Structure 1
Amino acid sequence: MKNPVLIIAYYWPPAGGPGVQRWLKFATYLGRHNFDVTVVVPDNADYPVVDESLIAEVPDHISIIKVPINEPSRLASSLSRKRTKNLQKGILPKNAGPLQRAMIWMRGNLFVPDARVGWKSRVLKGIHPYLLAHKNPTIITTGPPHSIHLVGLELKKKYTGFKWLADFRDPWTTIGYHKHLKIGTRAQKKHERLEQEVLDSADMIIVTSPHTGREFASKSSTPIQVITNGFDITTASTTRQPDGAFTLSHVGTLLSDRNPLVLWEVLADLCNDDASFKAVFQLQLAGNVSDEIIDSIKEYGLGTNLKQLGYLSHQEAVEVMFNSQCLLLIEIDSHDTKAIIPGKIFEYFASARPIIAIGPKDADIENLIQHTHSGQYFNYLEKQNLKNYILEKYKLYKNGNNEGQLNDNITSYKRENLSKTLAKTIAYTWE
């Protein structure tokens, strides 16, 4: 007899982005480890980005419970759809107008912990038949949105006989964008209280980075398991230099605060120093990018070298990775972002293309890149070292030798292998 697992997730196909991949793949592989998997997802959600191609990846062997959701973003969109979508994507304008400032304040103070908090009561009602039909299930909540964890918290208050694992893909009260939501004292205290209740009430906490694990361990005695994100694509079969221009590509969202001026300055210097570099250099951005980022690139004279691809399907994004000379990984220069490990880094590893990463000192991604020998990590003060590294890659490119590196160290990040760790973690909570 298979063990029942109920996964409650907001992001699910056709939603796009890395938050979907984690539990889509875990649900897929858990079915191969003697688990009967059911996933609770919103019906008719207002996702900030959509990737219809992911629907085909949902396996037949898992059950889906769709629960209707009322999205405040739909009401806000009637006032300004573009601005609402940007806020949903995390693109917060530096020079926000009165309407945008009001929307940001409401998001931070009226919807705690987030705008999907109203879905909780509907989920509790929607899963009641499941709880009656399944004995001793394992319930997994995954956030953000962290309001999903409030479902598990409410169940713990009302029921016994199940185990609850709370999966944090990002931190809660220490996540970087909180400071931009104009959160008042009362709302902040509510965030902290809810976070503490979730941490203390869950049977197991799952986190995606060691930094977040250490943060939560300092707040609660609940057992913690680090299970990073991973990849499920076929690894590169060759390390050969791709054809085409000397392309540096960033795949994913680039927020206003993640604006690496040091990189634009270095690239502008290289273009000004060598006309042949400028002639073959291409800066390629795939994903949602803030206007401030584009303006900065153009201010540094790189507009003619910029190629904006917009949001791509997952498969299209992977193709960009495999066909780039180098891959850019940019994180905000802040203590709060040291714990962030972007999900795309693992597919970067699989592509075997050299990574150029810029972020805060002592970040978890720095250790990952060093461990996998997949590129070079720089902090925001290392302008000359960054310039030297890009110039080194360019010289290799001119000679046809800008090869990547296949590394056995990345096999532990295959989602199939990570799912084995998850299966053991579930078993541990029942011991």
Structure 2
Amino acid sequence: MKKVLIISYYWPPAGGPGVQRWLKFAKYLPEYGIEPVMYVPKDPHYPLKDPSLVAEVPENIKVLENDIFEPYSLAGIFSKKDTHKISSGIIPAEAKQGFLQKMLLFIRGNFFIPDARKFWVKPSVKYLTTYLRENGIDNIITTGPPHSMHLIGKQLKETLDVRWIADFRDPWTGIGYHKKLKLLPSAEKKHLKLEKAVLDAADEIIATSFTTAREFEQLTKTPVTVITNGYDYEEVDLLPQDVKFSLSHIGSLLSGRNPNLLWEALRELISENEDFAEDFQLKLIGAVGEPVLESIRKAGLGNNLFIRGYVSHQEALQLQRSSQLLLLIEIDTPETRGIIPGKLFEYTVSNRPILAIGPEKADIQKIIQETNTGVFFLYSEKEKMKSFILERYREFKSGTLSSHPIGLQKYSRKTLTGELANLLKKPA
């Protein structure tokens, strides 16, 4: 059986969407005649943990662990809260940043390039050079962010006769928060230089969105393939369907994702319809930014608001399927057009309609439309959002509210793993 070494920072017990992609690929690759070997850090500084995912790690998979030094452990001496947020990619708006946050962002952006896991590169290259030689493995995959994982792949490629695939779950310099890192010109130049070097040195590049793929194709001649995230229809103990007409957002909802016109539309529906006011519930599951909560309460939705913090992956699936409507929000900037949240695919198989909001020409719009799983709106389309919600509410009252998806199979984790396997078997 062909072997492939997969270098990933995120692995159970890490929580959040970053761990799901390669956990599922590792699960299905053996069915395509490929044996995955995972290389992950030992006792890393994960901003989110979900111990329940440990049980999903295939029993027969080999997992290599190596010690990692992370400066976040030292930065936590000054402020664990701020350090935790920044390590999670949660960057407050400029006006909301205190001196300590600004200082941590400046240090993060200018001294830890490409990221704070850079100190794992050198020991990893040393360890893996020996391992790859001794075990005759000549295919490696790196997945980022953190993009320092790609630097490991680049150095292994330069040292050994290996075929290297670089998987970008998110863009590098094109990601939304890159501009918030208070980069000096020299640091920005170094980021761009490293990104270009990685793109050019890899044998193949994988992007998770159509927009990111197009952007990479403008930067390099290396072949770029789109393999999105997907769903793995998991059996969970179903909760009863919500009695309330619930609009649920599952996952972090931070200040950049704050659709004020949606809150206004809901306020108008509540004031215009007594039954709607009684039935409606806005459910926010996960971390919620204070500016978002302020906007919701200012809109008069406080009495209809239900908040719950971070939940396990299994609980998230249960809450998705028990909701009436599912809310998906992406930041309203051109940089986020290529962001396709992993939860979108879980939403599509929940059998619940999706109300999605995002920037013009967003990739999520294409997927929602082609799968017939909901409706996508621009931030400015208040009246259209209002009409959609009211129509779904009438279906809720009549007992007919449901989703009617088509063509979802192409986004199943097993199908997507087949695409990855074809890439691995592609002649050099």
Contact 1:332-1:360 within 8 A present in 2 as well: yes
- Give me the whole-angstrom Cα distance separating, in 1, the residues matched to 2:189 and 2:273: 55
Structure 1 position 273, deviation (Å): 1.7
- Give me the whole-angstrom Cα distance separating, in 1, the residues matched to 2:227 and 2:242: 36
- Give me the whole-angstrom Cα distance separating, in 2, the residues matched to 1:402 and 1:268: 22
- Is 1:348 the counterpart of 2:339 in the alignment? no
Structure 1 position 82, deviation (Å): 1.6
- Give me the whole-angstrom Cα distance separating, in 1, the residues matched to 2:171 and 2:423: 20
Residue 127 of structure 1 aligns to a residue whose secondary structure is helix
**Residue number in structure 1 paired with 2:412:** 414
Distance 1:285 1:150, change over 3 A: same
Structure 1 position 90, deviation (Å): 2.5
**Residue number in structure 2 paired with 1:141:** 142
Contact 2:372-2:405 within 8 A present in 1 as well: no
TM-score, structure 2 as length reference:
0.96
**Residue number in structure 2 paired with 1:168:** 168
Amino acid in the other structure paired with 2:45 = D
Residue 231 of structure 2 aligns to a residue whose secondary structure is coil
TM-score, structure 1 as length reference:
0.96
Structure 1 position 77, deviation (Å): 1.4
Contact 1:163-1:203 within 8 A present in 2 as well: yes
Question: Which runs of no fewer than 5 residues in structure 2 stay unpaired?
Answer: none
**Residue number in structure 2 paired with 1:427:** 425
Please list the CA deviations of residues 213-254 of structure 1 after superposition, one character each: whole Å capped at 9, or x if unmatched: 111111111011110000112489x9xx93410000011111
Structure 1 position 346, deviation (Å): 0.4
Q: How does 1:318-333 map to 2 (within 5 A)?
A: 318-333=317-332
**Residue number in structure 2 paired with 1:131:** 132
- Give me the whole-angstrom Cα distance separating, in 2, the residues matched to 1:380 and 1:62: 44
- Give me the whole-angstrom Cα distance separating, in 1, the residues matched to 2:157 and 2:130: 17
Contact 1:31-1:61 within 8 A present in 2 as well: no
Contact 1:91-1:256 within 8 A present in 2 as well: no
**Residue number in structure 1 paired with 2:206:** 206
**CA RMSD between the two structures:** 1.6
> Identity over aligned residues, as a percent?
49
Structure 1 position 274, deviation (Å): 1.9
Q: Which moved more, 1:124-133 or 1:139-148?
A: 124-133
- Give me the whole-angstrom Cα distance separating, in 1, the residues matched to 2:127 and 2:266: 53
Contact 2:5-2:139 within 8 A present in 1 as well: yes
- Give me the whole-angstrom Cα distance separating, in 2, the residues matched to 1:170 and 1:87: 16
Contact 1:235-1:352 within 8 A present in 2 as well: no
**Residue number in structure 2 paired with 1:185:** 185
- Give me the whole-angstrom Cα distance separating, in 2, the residues matched to 1:73 and 1:301: 39
Structure 1 position 69, deviation (Å): 1.0
- Give me the whole-angstrom Cα distance separating, in 2, the residues matched to 1:257 and 1:57: 32
- Is 1:118 the counterpart of 2:119 in the alignment? yes
Please list the CA deviations of residues 387-424 of structure 1 after superposition, one character each: whole Å capped at 9, or x if unmatched: 110111111111212122243x0111110111111000
**Residue number in structure 1 paired with 2:243:** 244
Please list the CA deviations of residues 274-299 of structure 1 after superposition, one character each: whole Å capped at 9, or x if unmatched: 23212111111111221221121111
- Give me the whole-angstrom Cα distance separating, in 2, the residues matched to 1:12 and 1:362: 32
Distance 1:205 1:79, change over 3 A: same
- Give me the whole-angstrom Cα distance separating, in 2, the residues matched to 1:235 and 1:377: 28
**Residue number in structure 1 paired with 2:41:** 42
Structure 1 position 136, deviation (Å): 4.6
Structure 1 position 128, deviation (Å): 2.9
Structure 1 position 134, deviation (Å): 2.5
Q: Which moved more, 1:190-199 or 1:127-136?
A: 127-136
Residue 31 of structure 1 aligns to a residue whose secondary structure is helix
Amino acid in the other structure paired with 1:275 = E
- Is 1:13 the counterpart of 2:4 in the alignment? no
**Residue number in structure 1 paired with 2:365:** 366
Amino acid in the other structure paired with 1:149 = H
Please list the CA deviations of residues 53-81 of structure 1 after superposition, one character each: whole Å capped at 9, or x if unmatched: 00011112211111111121111112111
Aligned positions, number: 425
- Give me the whole-angstrom Cα distance separating, in 1, the residues matched to 2:316 and 2:9: 22
Amino acid in the other structure paired with 1:327 = L
Contact 1:136-1:163 within 8 A present in 2 as well: no
- Give me the whole-angstrom Cα distance separating, in 1, the residues matched to 2:166 and 2:324: 38
Amino acid in the other structure paired with 2:71 = P
Distance 1:285 1:413, change over 3 A: same
Amino acid in the other structure paired with 2:134 = A
Amino acid in the other structure paired with 1:410 = L
Question: Which runs of no fewer than 5 residues in structure 1 stay unpaired?
Answer: none
Residue 48 of structure 2 aligns to a residue whose secondary structure is coil
Q: Which moved more, 1:258-267 or 1:220-229?
A: 258-267
Residue 118 of structure 2 aligns to a residue whose secondary structure is coil
- Give me the whole-angstrom Cα distance separating, in 2, the residues matched to 1:46 and 1:295: 31
- Give me the whole-angstrom Cα distance separating, in 2, the residues matched to 1:356 and 1:53: 29
**Residue number in structure 1 paired with 2:77:** 78
Q: How does 1:297-308 map to 2 (within 5 A)?
A: 297-308=296-307
Residue 259 of structure 1 aligns to a residue whose secondary structure is coil
Moved over 4 A (4+): none
